[in-house]
Structure 1
Amino acid sequence: MQFKELIAQETNNICEQLSSYEDRHTPFKELFLTKDTINFGPIKLLDRASIAMRAVVLFLTVLTIYFFSTLDYQSIDVLKGFTDTFVNFKTMFLNPYAQRFTLGEAFYNVVVTLGLAFLTTLIGGIVALLLGLLAAQNLAPKQVTNLIKGFVAIIRAVPTILWVLIFAVAAGLGSAAAIIGMSFHSISYLTKAYSESFEDLDRSVIEALMASGANWWQIVFQAVIPSSVTYLLSWTFLRFEINFANAVAMGAAAGAGGIGFDLFMAGGFYFDLREVGFITYLIIAIAIALEVFSTNIKGKLQKSI
Protein backbone atom coordinates (compact mmCIF):
# COMPACT_ATOMS: atom_id res chain seq x y z
CA MET A 1 0.00 0.00 0.00
CA GLN A 2 2.88 2.40 0.77
CA PHE A 3 4.47 1.65 -2.59
CA LYS A 4 1.21 2.53 -4.37
CA GLU A 5 0.93 5.84 -2.49
CA LEU A 6 4.58 6.66 -3.26
CA ILE A 7 4.05 6.09 -6.99
CA ALA A 8 0.90 8.24 -6.93
CA GLN A 9 2.73 11.05 -5.13
CA GLU A 10 5.68 11.05 -7.57
CA THR A 11 3.33 11.04 -10.54
CA ASN A 12 1.38 13.96 -9.08
CA ASN A 13 4.65 15.92 -8.71
CA ILE A 14 5.57 15.25 -12.34
CA CYS A 15 2.15 16.40 -13.52
CA GLU A 16 2.44 19.60 -11.52
CA GLN A 17 5.87 20.32 -13.05
CA LEU A 18 4.49 19.79 -16.54
CA SER A 19 1.57 22.12 -15.84
CA SER A 20 3.98 24.88 -14.78
CA TYR A 21 5.14 25.44 -18.38
CA GLU A 22 3.91 28.77 -19.72
CA ASP A 23 3.50 27.69 -23.33
CA ARG A 24 0.41 25.55 -23.11
CA HIS A 25 -1.05 26.58 -26.50
CA THR A 26 0.77 24.03 -28.60
CA PRO A 27 -0.51 21.32 -30.93
CA PHE A 28 0.46 18.83 -28.21
CA LYS A 29 -1.64 20.42 -25.50
CA GLU A 30 -3.86 17.36 -25.24
CA LEU A 31 -0.79 15.24 -24.44
CA PHE A 32 -0.15 16.89 -21.06
CA LEU A 33 -0.95 14.59 -18.21
CA THR A 34 -3.03 15.38 -15.20
CA LYS A 35 -3.43 13.42 -12.04
CA ASP A 36 -7.09 12.84 -12.90
CA THR A 37 -6.21 10.95 -16.10
CA ILE A 38 -4.03 8.37 -14.35
CA ASN A 39 -5.71 5.30 -12.95
CA PHE A 40 -3.88 3.26 -10.34
CA GLY A 41 -5.98 0.12 -10.54
CA PRO A 42 -5.15 -3.19 -8.93
CA ILE A 43 -2.19 -5.03 -10.39
CA LYS A 44 -3.38 -8.09 -12.32
CA LEU A 45 -1.68 -11.35 -11.49
CA LEU A 46 -0.51 -13.65 -14.26
CA ASP A 47 -2.80 -16.55 -15.09
CA ARG A 48 -1.64 -20.12 -15.62
CA ALA A 49 -1.45 -19.76 -19.41
CA SER A 50 0.78 -16.69 -19.18
CA ILE A 51 3.04 -18.35 -16.62
CA ALA A 52 3.34 -21.48 -18.78
CA MET A 53 4.09 -19.41 -21.89
CA ARG A 54 6.80 -17.41 -20.14
CA ALA A 55 8.29 -20.58 -18.70
CA VAL A 56 8.47 -22.17 -22.16
CA VAL A 57 10.07 -19.05 -23.66
CA LEU A 58 12.60 -18.94 -20.81
CA PHE A 59 13.41 -22.63 -21.23
CA LEU A 60 13.93 -22.26 -24.98
CA THR A 61 16.12 -19.19 -24.43
CA VAL A 62 18.32 -21.03 -21.94
CA LEU A 63 18.49 -24.06 -24.23
CA THR A 64 19.52 -21.89 -27.19
CA ILE A 65 22.20 -20.12 -25.19
CA TYR A 66 23.54 -23.47 -23.96
CA PHE A 67 23.57 -24.90 -27.48
CA PHE A 68 25.52 -21.99 -28.94
CA SER A 69 27.92 -21.97 -25.98
CA THR A 70 28.89 -25.60 -26.69
CA LEU A 71 29.81 -24.98 -30.33
CA ASP A 72 33.44 -24.99 -31.29
CA TYR A 73 33.89 -21.68 -33.08
CA GLN A 74 37.68 -21.99 -33.32
CA SER A 75 37.47 -24.61 -36.08
CA ILE A 76 35.18 -22.40 -38.20
CA ASP A 77 36.68 -20.01 -40.71
CA VAL A 78 33.89 -17.44 -40.96
CA LEU A 79 35.58 -15.37 -43.68
CA LYS A 80 36.22 -18.40 -45.87
CA GLY A 81 32.65 -19.59 -45.34
CA PHE A 82 31.18 -16.27 -46.50
CA THR A 83 33.55 -16.20 -49.47
CA ASP A 84 32.66 -19.72 -50.60
CA THR A 85 28.96 -19.02 -50.16
CA PHE A 86 29.20 -15.87 -52.27
CA VAL A 87 31.06 -17.78 -55.00
CA ASN A 88 28.47 -20.56 -54.99
CA PHE A 89 25.57 -18.11 -55.20
CA LYS A 90 27.30 -16.28 -58.03
CA THR A 91 27.77 -19.52 -59.94
CA MET A 92 24.20 -20.68 -59.33
CA PHE A 93 22.23 -17.54 -60.08
CA LEU A 94 24.44 -15.62 -62.50
CA ASN A 95 25.48 -18.56 -64.68
CA PRO A 96 22.50 -20.93 -64.80
CA TYR A 97 22.80 -23.66 -67.41
CA ALA A 98 21.37 -27.14 -67.96
CA GLN A 99 23.54 -29.61 -69.85
CA ARG A 100 22.01 -32.97 -68.87
CA PHE A 101 18.49 -32.24 -70.15
CA THR A 102 16.74 -29.96 -72.60
CA LEU A 103 14.18 -27.28 -71.83
CA GLY A 104 11.41 -29.59 -73.03
CA GLU A 105 12.51 -32.34 -70.67
CA ALA A 106 12.69 -29.85 -67.83
CA PHE A 107 9.15 -28.67 -68.60
CA TYR A 108 7.93 -32.28 -68.62
CA ASN A 109 9.47 -32.89 -65.20
CA VAL A 110 7.81 -29.73 -63.88
CA VAL A 111 4.46 -31.02 -65.17
CA VAL A 112 5.07 -34.31 -63.32
CA THR A 113 5.74 -32.39 -60.11
CA LEU A 114 2.64 -30.24 -60.62
CA GLY A 115 0.59 -33.37 -61.25
CA LEU A 116 1.81 -34.89 -58.00
CA ALA A 117 0.90 -31.70 -56.12
CA PHE A 118 -2.51 -31.44 -57.82
CA LEU A 119 -3.44 -35.07 -57.16
CA THR A 120 -2.53 -34.95 -53.47
CA THR A 121 -4.37 -31.64 -53.03
CA LEU A 122 -7.47 -33.02 -54.77
CA ILE A 123 -7.53 -36.15 -52.60
CA GLY A 124 -6.86 -34.15 -49.46
CA GLY A 125 -9.51 -31.55 -50.29
CA ILE A 126 -12.29 -34.08 -50.96
CA VAL A 127 -11.67 -36.08 -47.76
CA ALA A 128 -11.02 -32.95 -45.68
CA LEU A 129 -14.31 -31.38 -46.78
CA LEU A 130 -16.31 -34.15 -45.09
CA LEU A 131 -14.03 -34.28 -42.05
CA GLY A 132 -14.12 -30.48 -41.77
CA LEU A 133 -17.93 -30.53 -41.62
CA LEU A 134 -17.79 -33.12 -38.85
CA ALA A 135 -15.07 -31.18 -37.03
CA ALA A 136 -16.96 -27.86 -37.00
CA GLN A 137 -18.42 -27.20 -33.56
CA ASN A 138 -21.55 -25.55 -34.96
CA LEU A 139 -22.37 -28.53 -37.21
CA ALA A 140 -21.47 -31.66 -35.22
CA PRO A 141 -21.54 -32.93 -31.63
CA LYS A 142 -18.71 -31.85 -29.39
CA GLN A 143 -17.44 -35.41 -28.88
CA VAL A 144 -17.11 -35.93 -32.65
CA THR A 145 -15.37 -32.60 -33.23
CA ASN A 146 -12.87 -33.21 -30.42
CA LEU A 147 -12.09 -36.70 -31.73
CA ILE A 148 -11.47 -35.52 -35.30
CA LYS A 149 -9.49 -32.43 -34.31
CA GLY A 150 -7.31 -34.48 -31.99
CA PHE A 151 -6.68 -37.10 -34.68
CA VAL A 152 -5.73 -34.60 -37.39
CA ALA A 153 -3.56 -32.67 -34.92
CA ILE A 154 -1.48 -35.81 -34.34
CA ILE A 155 -1.15 -36.36 -38.11
CA ARG A 156 -0.22 -32.71 -38.66
CA ALA A 157 2.48 -32.84 -36.00
CA VAL A 158 4.43 -35.41 -38.02
CA PRO A 159 6.31 -33.90 -41.02
CA THR A 160 5.26 -34.92 -44.52
CA ILE A 161 8.58 -36.60 -45.28
CA LEU A 162 8.12 -38.96 -42.33
CA TRP A 163 4.65 -40.01 -43.52
CA VAL A 164 6.08 -40.67 -46.96
CA LEU A 165 8.84 -42.82 -45.48
CA ILE A 166 6.32 -44.66 -43.29
CA PHE A 167 4.15 -45.56 -46.27
CA ALA A 168 7.26 -46.37 -48.30
CA VAL A 169 7.73 -49.44 -46.08
CA ALA A 170 4.60 -50.96 -47.64
CA ALA A 171 4.48 -49.30 -51.05
CA GLY A 172 8.20 -48.86 -51.65
CA LEU A 173 10.01 -45.66 -52.54
CA GLY A 174 8.43 -43.88 -55.47
CA SER A 175 5.41 -41.89 -56.51
CA ALA A 176 2.90 -44.18 -54.73
CA ALA A 177 4.39 -43.59 -51.28
CA ALA A 178 4.73 -39.87 -52.02
CA ILE A 179 1.08 -39.55 -53.06
CA ILE A 180 -0.21 -41.42 -50.00
CA GLY A 181 2.02 -39.58 -47.52
CA MET A 182 1.38 -36.12 -48.97
CA SER A 183 -2.38 -36.78 -49.19
CA PHE A 184 -2.37 -37.96 -45.59
CA HIS A 185 -0.80 -34.72 -44.41
CA SER A 186 -2.96 -32.60 -46.73
CA ILE A 187 -6.11 -34.12 -45.23
CA SER A 188 -5.07 -33.14 -41.71
CA TYR A 189 -4.06 -29.63 -42.76
CA LEU A 190 -7.20 -28.89 -44.77
CA THR A 191 -9.51 -30.45 -42.17
CA LYS A 192 -8.40 -27.90 -39.61
CA ALA A 193 -8.60 -25.03 -42.12
CA TYR A 194 -12.04 -26.04 -43.43
CA SER A 195 -13.53 -26.61 -39.98
CA GLU A 196 -12.42 -23.18 -38.79
CA SER A 197 -13.94 -21.62 -41.91
CA PHE A 198 -17.25 -23.39 -41.20
CA GLU A 199 -17.19 -22.27 -37.57
CA ASP A 200 -17.04 -18.61 -38.65
CA LEU A 201 -20.57 -18.90 -40.04
CA ASP A 202 -23.18 -17.03 -38.01
CA ARG A 203 -25.00 -19.43 -35.70
CA SER A 204 -28.30 -17.62 -36.25
CA VAL A 205 -28.33 -18.64 -39.93
CA ILE A 206 -28.07 -22.32 -39.00
CA GLU A 207 -30.73 -21.97 -36.32
CA ALA A 208 -33.07 -20.24 -38.77
CA LEU A 209 -32.69 -23.07 -41.28
CA MET A 210 -33.22 -25.68 -38.58
CA ALA A 211 -36.37 -23.86 -37.45
CA SER A 212 -37.67 -23.91 -41.02
CA GLY A 213 -37.31 -27.71 -41.13
CA ALA A 214 -34.07 -28.03 -43.11
CA ASN A 215 -32.02 -31.17 -42.50
CA TRP A 216 -28.27 -31.36 -41.98
CA TRP A 217 -27.38 -31.80 -45.66
CA GLN A 218 -29.61 -28.91 -46.70
CA ILE A 219 -27.93 -26.66 -44.14
CA VAL A 220 -24.52 -27.68 -45.42
CA PHE A 221 -25.20 -27.17 -49.13
CA GLN A 222 -27.49 -24.14 -48.87
CA ALA A 223 -25.77 -22.11 -46.15
CA VAL A 224 -22.43 -23.44 -44.93
CA ILE A 225 -20.54 -24.16 -48.16
CA PRO A 226 -21.86 -21.17 -50.19
CA SER A 227 -20.89 -18.82 -47.36
CA SER A 228 -17.42 -20.36 -46.98
CA VAL A 229 -16.49 -21.07 -50.60
CA THR A 230 -13.98 -18.22 -50.87
CA TYR A 231 -12.19 -19.36 -47.71
CA LEU A 232 -12.19 -22.96 -48.91
CA LEU A 233 -10.57 -21.97 -52.20
CA SER A 234 -7.99 -19.81 -50.44
CA TRP A 235 -6.94 -22.65 -48.15
CA THR A 236 -6.96 -25.14 -51.03
CA PHE A 237 -4.73 -22.97 -53.23
CA LEU A 238 -2.40 -22.41 -50.29
CA ARG A 239 -2.14 -26.14 -49.71
CA PHE A 240 -1.54 -26.70 -53.42
CA GLU A 241 1.46 -24.36 -53.28
CA ILE A 242 2.74 -26.19 -50.20
CA ASN A 243 2.26 -29.55 -51.93
CA PHE A 244 4.20 -28.29 -54.95
CA ALA A 245 7.15 -27.50 -52.67
CA ASN A 246 6.72 -30.88 -50.96
CA ALA A 247 6.58 -32.61 -54.34
CA VAL A 248 9.95 -31.09 -55.23
CA ALA A 249 11.38 -32.43 -51.96
CA MET A 250 9.72 -35.83 -52.40
CA GLY A 251 11.26 -36.16 -55.86
CA ALA A 252 14.63 -36.14 -54.15
CA ALA A 253 13.91 -37.89 -50.85
CA ALA A 254 11.42 -40.55 -51.96
CA GLY A 255 12.36 -40.99 -55.60
CA ALA A 256 8.99 -39.67 -56.80
CA GLY A 257 10.54 -38.21 -59.94
CA GLY A 258 9.85 -34.83 -61.43
CA ILE A 259 12.00 -31.74 -61.21
CA GLY A 260 12.90 -32.55 -57.60
CA PHE A 261 14.85 -35.61 -58.65
CA ASP A 262 16.80 -33.55 -61.19
CA LEU A 263 17.56 -31.01 -58.48
CA PHE A 264 18.79 -33.77 -56.19
CA MET A 265 21.05 -35.22 -58.88
CA ALA A 266 22.44 -31.80 -59.82
CA GLY A 267 23.14 -30.87 -56.22
CA GLY A 268 24.48 -34.22 -55.06
CA PHE A 269 25.53 -36.85 -57.57
CA TYR A 270 26.71 -34.56 -60.38
CA PHE A 271 27.23 -31.43 -58.23
CA ASP A 272 26.64 -28.93 -60.98
CA LEU A 273 25.83 -25.58 -59.38
CA ARG A 274 24.88 -24.03 -62.70
CA GLU A 275 22.24 -26.71 -63.20
CA VAL A 276 21.01 -26.17 -59.63
CA GLY A 277 20.58 -22.48 -60.43
CA PHE A 278 18.66 -23.27 -63.62
CA ILE A 279 16.26 -25.61 -61.80
CA THR A 280 15.86 -23.10 -58.97
CA TYR A 281 14.86 -20.37 -61.41
CA LEU A 282 12.39 -22.77 -63.01
CA ILE A 283 10.80 -23.64 -59.67
CA ILE A 284 10.55 -19.96 -58.69
CA ALA A 285 8.86 -19.14 -62.02
CA ILE A 286 6.29 -21.90 -61.50
CA ALA A 287 5.63 -20.75 -57.92
CA ILE A 288 5.03 -17.15 -59.10
CA ALA A 289 2.72 -18.39 -61.85
CA LEU A 290 0.71 -20.41 -59.30
CA GLU A 291 0.39 -17.38 -57.03
CA VAL A 292 -0.83 -15.16 -59.89
CA PHE A 293 -3.28 -17.83 -61.04
CA SER A 294 -4.74 -18.37 -57.57
CA THR A 295 -5.06 -14.61 -56.98
CA ASN A 296 -6.94 -14.13 -60.26
CA ILE A 297 -9.28 -17.05 -59.59
CA LYS A 298 -10.11 -15.84 -56.08
CA GLY A 299 -10.65 -12.29 -57.35
CA LYS A 300 -13.08 -13.40 -60.07
CA LEU A 301 -14.92 -15.63 -57.61
CA GLN A 302 -15.35 -12.83 -55.07
CA LYS A 303 -16.70 -10.51 -57.79
CA SER A 304 -19.19 -13.14 -58.96
CA ILE A 305 -20.41 -13.68 -55.39
Structure 2
Amino acid sequence: MNYFSQTVAFLFDGANWASTSINPIPVRIGEQLWYTLLSLVITAIIAIPLGFYIGHTGRGRTIAVSVSGGARALPTLGVLTLLALLIGIGIGAPIISFVVLAIPSVLAGAYSGFESVDRRTIDAARAVGMTEWQIVTKVEIPLGLPLLIGGLRSATLQIVATATLAAYIGAGGLGTYIFLGLGNNDFSQALAGSVLVIVLAIVLEIVFSIVQRLVVPAGVRAGRSTSTRAGATRSRAVVGSPLQEGNK
Protein backbone atom coordinates (compact mmCIF):
# COMPACT_ATOMS: atom_id res chain seq x y z
CA MET A 1 0.00 0.00 0.00
CA ASN A 2 2.94 2.28 0.68
CA TYR A 3 4.29 1.68 -2.83
CA PHE A 4 0.86 2.51 -4.25
CA SER A 5 0.64 5.85 -2.42
CA GLN A 6 4.20 6.72 -3.45
CA THR A 7 3.39 5.85 -7.06
CA VAL A 8 0.34 8.11 -7.03
CA ALA A 9 2.43 10.88 -5.49
CA PHE A 10 5.06 10.43 -8.21
CA LEU A 11 2.51 10.59 -11.02
CA PHE A 12 0.75 13.68 -9.66
CA ASP A 13 3.91 15.54 -8.69
CA GLY A 14 4.03 18.61 -10.91
CA ALA A 15 7.82 18.59 -10.85
CA ASN A 16 7.87 15.31 -12.77
CA TRP A 17 5.76 16.87 -15.52
CA ALA A 18 7.81 20.07 -15.79
CA SER A 19 10.26 20.51 -18.64
CA THR A 20 12.98 21.30 -16.11
CA SER A 21 12.78 17.78 -14.67
CA ILE A 22 15.57 15.31 -15.41
CA ASN A 23 13.02 12.84 -16.80
CA PRO A 24 9.87 14.81 -17.62
CA ILE A 25 6.90 12.51 -18.08
CA PRO A 26 5.53 14.24 -21.23
CA VAL A 27 8.89 13.82 -22.96
CA ARG A 28 9.05 10.11 -22.09
CA ILE A 29 5.46 9.59 -23.25
CA GLY A 30 6.31 11.39 -26.49
CA GLU A 31 9.33 9.12 -27.02
CA GLN A 32 7.19 6.05 -26.37
CA LEU A 33 4.58 7.21 -28.88
CA TRP A 34 7.24 8.16 -31.42
CA TYR A 35 8.87 4.72 -31.28
CA THR A 36 5.44 3.11 -31.60
CA LEU A 37 4.30 5.26 -34.52
CA LEU A 38 7.58 5.04 -36.44
CA SER A 39 7.78 1.27 -35.99
CA LEU A 40 4.16 0.87 -37.04
CA VAL A 41 4.61 2.96 -40.20
CA ILE A 42 7.71 1.00 -41.25
CA THR A 43 5.92 -2.26 -40.48
CA ALA A 44 2.90 -1.21 -42.54
CA ILE A 45 5.08 -0.27 -45.52
CA ILE A 46 6.69 -3.72 -45.44
CA ALA A 47 3.86 -6.01 -44.38
CA ILE A 48 0.67 -4.56 -45.92
CA PRO A 49 1.64 -4.78 -49.63
CA LEU A 50 3.06 -8.27 -49.05
CA GLY A 51 -0.08 -9.35 -47.18
CA PHE A 52 -2.32 -7.95 -49.94
CA TYR A 53 -0.34 -9.87 -52.55
CA ILE A 54 -0.60 -13.11 -50.61
CA GLY A 55 -4.29 -12.63 -49.92
CA HIS A 56 -5.16 -11.74 -53.51
CA THR A 57 -3.10 -14.40 -55.28
CA GLY A 58 -2.95 -17.09 -52.62
CA ARG A 59 0.78 -17.49 -53.30
CA GLY A 60 3.41 -17.65 -50.58
CA ARG A 61 0.98 -18.08 -47.70
CA THR A 62 2.78 -21.10 -46.26
CA ILE A 63 6.12 -19.30 -46.35
CA ALA A 64 4.61 -16.16 -44.81
CA VAL A 65 3.02 -18.11 -41.97
CA SER A 66 6.28 -19.96 -41.27
CA VAL A 67 8.39 -16.80 -41.29
CA SER A 68 5.85 -14.94 -39.15
CA GLY A 69 5.78 -17.77 -36.65
CA GLY A 70 9.56 -17.73 -36.46
CA ALA A 71 9.60 -13.95 -35.95
CA ARG A 72 7.11 -14.26 -33.09
CA ALA A 73 9.46 -16.69 -31.35
CA LEU A 74 12.41 -14.29 -31.40
CA PRO A 75 13.14 -12.73 -27.98
CA THR A 76 12.85 -8.98 -28.49
CA LEU A 77 15.36 -8.16 -25.75
CA GLY A 78 17.90 -10.51 -27.32
CA VAL A 79 17.37 -9.01 -30.79
CA LEU A 80 17.61 -5.49 -29.35
CA THR A 81 20.86 -6.25 -27.53
CA LEU A 82 22.39 -7.92 -30.59
CA LEU A 83 21.46 -5.04 -32.88
CA ALA A 84 22.75 -2.50 -30.38
CA LEU A 85 26.12 -4.27 -30.40
CA LEU A 86 26.16 -4.42 -34.20
CA ILE A 87 24.93 -0.95 -35.17
CA GLY A 88 25.55 0.99 -31.96
CA ILE A 89 23.47 2.89 -29.45
CA GLY A 90 20.59 4.94 -30.82
CA ILE A 91 17.04 4.50 -32.04
CA GLY A 92 18.05 2.25 -34.95
CA ALA A 93 18.31 -0.94 -32.90
CA PRO A 94 15.01 -0.48 -31.02
CA ILE A 95 13.07 0.42 -34.18
CA ILE A 96 14.32 -2.64 -36.07
CA SER A 97 13.48 -4.85 -33.10
CA PHE A 98 9.95 -3.45 -32.83
CA VAL A 99 9.38 -3.83 -36.57
CA VAL A 100 10.41 -7.48 -36.41
CA LEU A 101 7.99 -7.93 -33.51
CA ALA A 102 5.07 -6.22 -35.28
CA ILE A 103 5.33 -7.64 -38.81
CA PRO A 104 3.58 -10.99 -38.08
CA SER A 105 0.41 -9.33 -36.75
CA VAL A 106 0.12 -6.79 -39.58
CA LEU A 107 0.96 -9.38 -42.24
CA ALA A 108 -1.66 -11.77 -40.88
CA GLY A 109 -4.26 -9.02 -40.73
CA ALA A 110 -3.56 -7.99 -44.32
CA TYR A 111 -3.85 -11.39 -45.97
CA SER A 112 -6.60 -12.61 -43.65
CA GLY A 113 -8.69 -9.59 -44.63
CA PHE A 114 -8.45 -10.52 -48.29
CA GLU A 115 -9.10 -14.19 -47.61
CA SER A 116 -12.23 -13.33 -45.63
CA VAL A 117 -13.89 -11.85 -48.73
CA ASP A 118 -16.45 -14.25 -50.19
CA ARG A 119 -15.09 -15.72 -53.44
CA ARG A 120 -18.53 -15.31 -55.01
CA THR A 121 -18.21 -11.56 -54.50
CA ILE A 122 -14.89 -11.51 -56.34
CA ASP A 123 -16.28 -13.71 -59.14
CA ALA A 124 -19.20 -11.29 -59.49
CA ALA A 125 -16.77 -8.36 -59.71
CA ARG A 126 -14.86 -10.10 -62.50
CA ALA A 127 -18.12 -10.94 -64.24
CA VAL A 128 -19.10 -7.27 -64.50
CA GLY A 129 -15.73 -6.46 -66.07
CA MET A 130 -13.67 -5.13 -63.16
CA THR A 131 -9.90 -5.41 -63.55
CA GLU A 132 -7.73 -7.12 -60.95
CA TRP A 133 -6.59 -3.73 -59.68
CA GLN A 134 -10.21 -2.58 -59.33
CA ILE A 135 -11.07 -5.78 -57.48
CA VAL A 136 -8.23 -5.16 -55.05
CA THR A 137 -8.96 -1.48 -54.44
CA LYS A 138 -12.76 -1.47 -54.61
CA VAL A 139 -13.69 -4.89 -53.26
CA GLU A 140 -10.97 -6.67 -51.29
CA ILE A 141 -9.41 -3.72 -49.48
CA PRO A 142 -12.70 -2.16 -48.26
CA LEU A 143 -14.11 -5.52 -47.15
CA GLY A 144 -10.84 -6.70 -45.60
CA LEU A 145 -9.98 -3.38 -43.91
CA PRO A 146 -11.48 -4.28 -40.49
CA LEU A 147 -9.17 -7.30 -40.19
CA LEU A 148 -6.19 -5.21 -41.31
CA ILE A 149 -6.98 -2.61 -38.65
CA GLY A 150 -7.23 -5.49 -36.18
CA GLY A 151 -3.70 -6.54 -37.14
CA LEU A 152 -2.42 -2.98 -36.77
CA ARG A 153 -4.22 -2.77 -33.43
CA SER A 154 -2.51 -5.90 -32.15
CA ALA A 155 0.88 -4.75 -33.43
CA THR A 156 0.47 -1.33 -31.81
CA LEU A 157 -0.22 -2.85 -28.41
CA GLN A 158 2.78 -5.15 -28.76
CA ILE A 159 5.05 -2.27 -29.73
CA VAL A 160 3.88 0.18 -27.08
CA ALA A 161 4.39 -2.43 -24.38
CA THR A 162 7.76 -3.60 -25.67
CA ALA A 163 9.06 -0.10 -26.39
CA THR A 164 9.95 0.13 -22.71
CA LEU A 165 13.01 -1.95 -23.65
CA ALA A 166 14.43 1.02 -25.54
CA ALA A 167 15.57 2.39 -22.19
CA TYR A 168 17.69 -0.73 -21.74
CA ILE A 169 20.19 0.72 -24.22
CA GLY A 170 19.64 4.32 -23.16
CA ALA A 171 17.17 5.27 -25.92
CA GLY A 172 14.57 6.76 -23.59
CA GLY A 173 10.86 6.06 -23.44
CA LEU A 174 8.74 5.16 -20.43
CA GLY A 175 11.03 2.25 -19.70
CA THR A 176 13.42 4.84 -18.28
CA TYR A 177 11.36 4.98 -15.09
CA ILE A 178 11.22 1.20 -14.84
CA PHE A 179 14.95 0.60 -15.28
CA LEU A 180 15.96 3.56 -13.09
CA GLY A 181 13.52 2.49 -10.40
CA LEU A 182 14.75 -1.10 -10.39
CA GLY A 183 18.37 0.00 -10.44
CA ASN A 184 17.89 2.41 -7.51
CA ASN A 185 15.47 0.20 -5.57
CA ASP A 186 12.87 2.90 -6.11
CA PHE A 187 10.01 0.53 -6.82
CA SER A 188 7.38 3.26 -6.72
CA GLN A 189 9.08 4.94 -9.69
CA ALA A 190 9.24 1.62 -11.54
CA LEU A 191 5.56 1.05 -10.80
CA ALA A 192 4.73 4.55 -12.02
CA GLY A 193 6.45 3.79 -15.33
CA SER A 194 4.42 0.58 -15.63
CA VAL A 195 1.17 2.43 -14.92
CA LEU A 196 1.95 5.01 -17.61
CA VAL A 197 2.60 2.24 -20.15
CA ILE A 198 -0.66 0.52 -19.21
CA VAL A 199 -2.68 3.72 -19.51
CA LEU A 200 -1.09 4.53 -22.88
CA ALA A 201 -1.85 1.01 -24.13
CA ILE A 202 -5.49 1.29 -23.01
CA VAL A 203 -5.90 4.64 -24.77
CA LEU A 204 -4.46 3.24 -28.01
CA GLU A 205 -6.66 0.15 -27.69
CA ILE A 206 -9.77 2.33 -27.41
CA VAL A 207 -8.73 4.45 -30.41
CA PHE A 208 -8.10 1.43 -32.63
CA SER A 209 -11.29 -0.32 -31.52
CA ILE A 210 -13.26 2.76 -32.61
CA VAL A 211 -11.41 2.94 -35.91
CA GLN A 212 -11.99 -0.76 -36.52
CA ARG A 213 -15.73 -0.26 -36.13
CA LEU A 214 -15.78 2.82 -38.35
CA VAL A 215 -14.00 1.17 -41.30
CA VAL A 216 -16.66 -1.52 -41.70
CA PRO A 217 -18.42 -0.64 -44.99
CA ALA A 218 -21.94 0.73 -44.56
CA GLY A 219 -23.33 -1.96 -46.84
CA VAL A 220 -21.83 -4.69 -44.68
CA ARG A 221 -23.32 -3.15 -41.53
CA ALA A 222 -26.70 -2.95 -43.23
CA GLY A 223 -26.37 -6.55 -44.38
CA ARG A 224 -25.67 -7.67 -40.81
CA SER A 225 -28.79 -5.92 -39.58
CA THR A 226 -30.87 -7.52 -42.34
CA SER A 227 -29.38 -10.93 -41.56
CA THR A 228 -30.31 -10.51 -37.90
CA ARG A 229 -33.92 -9.69 -38.75
CA ALA A 230 -34.10 -12.48 -41.30
CA GLY A 231 -32.68 -14.88 -38.74
CA ALA A 232 -35.47 -14.05 -36.33
CA THR A 233 -38.06 -14.69 -39.06
CA ARG A 234 -36.54 -18.02 -39.95
CA SER A 235 -36.52 -19.06 -36.30
CA ARG A 236 -40.26 -18.41 -36.18
CA ALA A 237 -40.79 -20.46 -39.33
CA VAL A 238 -39.05 -23.44 -37.78
CA VAL A 239 -41.52 -23.44 -34.92
CA GLY A 240 -44.41 -23.30 -37.36
CA SER A 241 -46.79 -20.77 -38.84
CA PRO A 242 -49.84 -19.68 -36.82
CA LEU A 243 -52.06 -21.67 -39.22
CA GLN A 244 -49.98 -24.80 -38.75
CA GLU A 245 -49.94 -24.38 -34.99
CA GLY A 246 -53.73 -23.97 -34.95
CA ASN A 247 -54.23 -27.21 -36.81
CA LYS A 248 -52.34 -29.21 -34.22
Contact 1:125 1:186 (8 Å CA) reproduced? no
Query: How far apart in 2 are the matches of 1:214 and 1:280?
Result: 51
Distance 1:262 1:188, change over 3 A: same
3-state DSSP of counterpart to 1:201: coil
Does residue 110 (structure 1) correspond to residue 40 (structure 2)? The answer is no
Give 1:215 shift: 3.2
Query: How far apart in 2 are the matches of 1:176 and 1:199?
Result: 34
Give 1:188 shift: 2.5
**Identity across matched positions, percent:** 24
Give 1:150 shift: 2.5
Query: How far apart in 2 are the matches of 1:141 and 1:285?
Result: 39
Contact 2:29 2:174 (8 Å CA) reproduced? yes
What code does the residue aligned with 1:93 have? F
1:93 corresponds to which residue?
4
Contact 2:178 2:193 (8 Å CA) reproduced? yes
Query: How far apart in 1 are the matches of 2:111 and 2:35?
Result: 25
User: For each residue in 1:45-95, what CA deviation from the matched residue of structure 2 results, as whole angstroms up to 9, or x when unmatched?
Assistant: xxxxxxxxxxxxxxxxxxxxxxxxxxxxxxxxxxxxxxxxxxxxx232232
Does residue 240 (structure 1) correspond to residue 156 (structure 2)? The answer is yes
1:12 corresponds to which residue?
none
What code does the residue aligned with 1:123 have? I
Contact 1:174 1:256 (8 Å CA) reproduced? yes
State TM-score, norm by structure 1. Answer: 0.62
Which of 128, 135, 151 pairs up with 2:67?
Answer: 151
Give 1:183 shift: 0.9
What code does the residue aligned with 1:140 have? T
Distance 1:164 1:122, change over 3 A: same
Compare the two structures and name the one with the higher helix fraction. 2
Distance 1:116 1:304, change over 3 A: farther
Give 1:179 shift: 0.3
3-state DSSP of counterpart to 2:89: coil
3-state DSSP of counterpart to 1:95: helix
Contact 2:113 2:143 (8 Å CA) reproduced? no
Query: How far apart in 2 are the matches of 1:302 and 1:217?
Result: 21
Pairwise mapping of residues 24-103 of structure 1 onto structure 2 (< 5 A)?
Answer: 90-96=1-7, 97-98=9-10, 102-103=16-17
Which of 50, 67, 74 pairs up with 1:131?
Answer: 50
3-state DSSP of counterpart to 1:256: coil
1:140 corresponds to which residue?
57
Query: How far apart in 2 are the matches of 1:205 and 1:304?
Result: 16
Which of 266, 270, 277 pairs up with 2:191?
Answer: 277
Aligned residues: 211
Query: How far apart in 2 are the matches of 1:164 and 1:252?
Result: 11
2:223 corresponds to which residue?
none
Contact 1:135 1:149 (8 Å CA) reproduced? no
Query: How far apart in 1 are the matches of 2:202 and 2:78?
Result: 28
Does residue 192 (structure 1) correspond to residue 138 (structure 2)? The answer is no
3-state DSSP of counterpart to 1:262: helix
Which of 27, 31, 39 pairs up with 1:120?
Answer: 39
State TM-score, norm by structure 2. Answer: 0.75
Give 1:302 shift: 4.1
Distance 1:156 1:275, change over 3 A: closer
Does residue 209 (structure 1) correspond to residue 209 (structure 2)? The answer is no
Query: How far apart in 1 are the matches of 2:68 and 2:143?
Result: 24
1:256 corresponds to which residue?
171
CA RMSD of aligned residues (A): 2.5
What code does the residue aligned with 2:166 have? G
Distance 1:259 1:224, change over 3 A: same
What code does the residue aligned with 2:5 have? L
Report the structure number with the largest CA radius of gyration: 1
1:4 corresponds to which residue?
none
Query: How far apart in 1 are the matches of 2:182 and 2:79?
Result: 24
Give 1:273 shift: 1.8
